[in-house]
Amino acid sequence: MDSHDTLDQVRLLGERLDKLADLVRRLAEENRSLRAGQEQLSNERAQLLNKNELARSRVEAMIHRLKSLESSQ
């Protein structure tokens, strides 16, 4: 193997390393974005569960009041 082949191999290896480094950066950014989205969805879910619980409590209170009105008549 002559020095020209060795230099070509080193150049190709450097290009592959650059591509891999770019891929790692892109994947890291995508991962950060996905984690942020997941956290946002988790927060939205928690808010919706709270609203659902509040609505359920209000409906149950209304039913209780209606039953009380029925029994008092």
| Confidence category of residue 24, pLDDT binned at 50, 70, 90 | very high
* 48: its two tokens: 């919706």
Q: Which domain holds residue 15?
A: 1-73
* pLDDT tens-digit series, residues 26-66: 999 999 999 999 999 999 999 999 999 999 999 999 999 99
Q: Which residues, at least 6 apart from 2, have a Cβ–Cβ distance to it below 8 Å?
A: none
Alpha helices in 1-73 (DSSP H): 3-72
**Looking at this protein, which amino acid is placed at residue 73?**
Q
Q: Which H or E run includes 73?
A: none
| Confidence category of residue 4, pLDDT binned at 50, 70, 90 | confident
Domain count, the chain: 1
Residues 11 and 32: their CA atoms lie apart, in Å, by 32
